[in-house]
Amino acid sequence: MINLETPKKYRGFVKQVNEVATNFLRANSRTYDLAEHSYPKELDLLASLVDGMNESGQSKGAGAAGVRVKDDDKGGVKNGTNMSSVLSVIEMCWGDVGLLLSMPRQGLGNSAIASVANDEQLERFKDTWAAMAITEPSFGSDSAAIKTTAVKDGDEYILNGEKIFVTSGERADSVVVWATLDKSKGRAAIKSFVVPKSLPGIRVERLEHKLGIRASDTAVIVLEDCRVPAANLLGDPEIDTSKGFAGAMATFDNTRPLVAGMAVGCARAALELTRDLFTDAGIEIDYDRPAQSQSAAAATFLQMEADWEAAHLLTLSAAWMADNRKPNSLEASMAKAKAGRVGNQITLRCVELASTLGYSEVEFLEKWSRDSKILDIFEGTQQIQQLIVARRVLGLTSSQLK
């Protein structure tokens, strides 16, 4: 039986992360939202603190780099690195989504490495800050349409292609690049490579200006005859058509609950501030009375809280399943779809409920509504998540249900 209360062993850790989010992220949130593309230097100190916690064992697997299912299964129900990482991300994004995405060595590429790398690669890349590059100019959600090529040449692969919307693409030390080994073999030939940015042939073409998460840099990256060591191909280099796209897509089973956690944290921040504004305005929210007998504002708030709770529990459930070695592809997509949608709806509705305060920069509500939009888009859009859920529920393949 799944208990979706915060595990007792993580409660002190969650409190510590919340303090970090308050003193580091929330405190600098507006500064770096207004100074797009400026590097948040305060994060260097925070990264040093996280590194110290990791070395001492106090971090409980916090952050993107901790998401990994290990082979130390001793039986019984456990809460491991997936759960602690999601709990950490929720608190950090309660502070600021863009700054969380700017954290050194906590990029989505680090989650990809932790999810599919072998033990040797995990050790070799443990200190890198990795961005993740999937999307290309010719496609958005259909990762199987990748055109970037990787051609084997001795002990190296030669990569050619262009990647867009790469989070932390400029600041990261390396980029996890998705490329195809053989276009004729379809999805099964798509592999991911750790490409250090120090290599010749990889360059940042430009940075994007964005609606939200402005503290985080988003880059266009070009690869031209970039030679990457063969040992940097993550996981199995063999093309197994029987497994199809499963190997590469396994990354998303771990990263989608993280993105759902980002939406849950951001939406919680909006709900808490809106409740405080209601209290100041004399608007009462009574949990002992039916919604229809309360003010429209209170009734709306109760509905938002119910939607938030559903997203929160789905997110924890997907993380718990990963920790307990249960297939969670369906649940990861359900969590991402629910949290992405209601997170965006909640932040926008809080802007409306707060009226002029919500629309102005006096409060963070307008910022959170901008930041939350991306959480319904990247790591698989709302529409793609619904498609994946439908396929899983109906037992249909991608060719049967498009």
pLDDT digits (tens, 9 = 90+) for 260-319: 999 999 999 999 999 999 999 999 999 999 999 999 999 999 999 999 999 999 999 999
Any idea what the Cα angle at residue 192 is, between residues 188 and 196, rounded to 5°?
160
CA-CA distance, 363 to 369, in Å (whole number)? 12
CA-CA distance, 66 to 116, in Å (whole number)? 13
Bridge partners (DSSP) listed for residue 175:
131, 195
Q: In degrees to the nearest 10, what's the CA dihedral of 361, 363, 366, 368?
A: 130
Higher pLDDT, 116 or 297: 297
CA-CA distance, 105 to 267, in Å (whole number)? 25
Q: Is the pLDDT of residue 96 over 90?
A: yes
Q: Is the pLDDT of residue 320 over 80?
A: yes
pLDDT for res 254: 82
pLDDT for res 397: 87
State the alpha helices, DSSP H only, in 324-399: 329-354, 356-359, 365-374, 382-394
Whether the model clears a pTM of 0.85, i.e. scores above it, the answer is yes
Bridge partners (DSSP) listed for residue 203:
222
**Residues forming the active site:** 379
Residues sharing a CB contact under 8 Å with residue 119, sequence separation 6 or more, in sequence order: none
Residue ranges and CATH numbers for the domains of the chain are: 8-124 (1.10.540), 130-232 (2.40.110.10), 246-394 (1.20.140.10)
Q: Is the pLDDT of residue 103 over 70?
A: yes
DSSP class of 22: I
- Mean pLDDT of all residues in 335-359: 97
**pLDDT above 70 coverage of the chain, percent:** 90
Confidence label for 241 from pLDDT (cuts 50, 70 and 90):
low
pLDDT digits (tens, 9 = 90+) for 132-180: 999 999 988 777 789 999 999 999 999 999 999 999 999 999 999 999 9
CA-CA distance, 113 to 97, in Å (whole number)? 21
Beta strands in 168-284 (DSSP E): 174-180, 190-196, 202-207, 218-229
What is the residue-averaged pLDDT of the chain?
90
Q: Is the pLDDT of residue 80 over 90?
A: no
Of residues 319, 272, 301, the one with CA closest to residue 85: 319
Half-sphere exposure of 184 (CA within 13 A, CB side): 0
pLDDT for res 78: 78
Confidence label for 193 from pLDDT (cuts 50, 70 and 90):
very high
Phi then psi dihedrals of residue 99, to 5 deg: -70, -35
Would you say 85 and 258 are in contact if contact means Cβ atoms under 8 Å apart? yes
CA-CA distance, 372 to 354, in Å (whole number)? 17
- Mean pLDDT of all residues in 252-263: 92
CA-CA distance, 133 to 223, in Å (whole number)? 11
pLDDT for res 63: 46
pLDDT digits (tens, 9 = 90+) for 21-77: 999 999 999 999 999 999 999 998 888 776 665 555 555 544 444 445 554 555 667
pLDDT for res 246: 59
pLDDT for res 65: 40
